Structure 1
Amino acid sequence: MPEVIVVATISPQPGEEQAVRDAVLAAIPKVHDEPGCVKYALHEATGDST
């Protein structure tokens, strides 16, 4: 099967940044356990709280 790369941009509402970060971080181990998953990671922009 060919490799598929997905990039998503998430822009939380002001004040919800930590809740969104926590939700994505909690999902990482679950996604890693899915068949065929090679990498799932969170990257944050610097200098922008959202």
Structure 2
Amino acid sequence: MPYQIHLDAERFSVYTGESQKYAYQQTRVEPKGVAWLAEIYAVKSREKMVV
């Protein structure tokens, strides 16, 4: 389950449902979340290249 700050920023969403009498929660990455994760990954990659 993502932190509330990320849900409020619409980076992730949580869907709940029921399948074969079992309840479940599914976290999905929204387009804003993909861009946010890509930026974090790019920054980390640049930091490693500097060394």
TM-score, normalised by the number of residues in structure 2: 0.34
Q: Which has the higher helix share?
A: 2
Larger Rg: 2
TM-score, normalised by the number of residues in structure 1: 0.34
Higher relative contact order (CA 8 A, sep 6+): 1
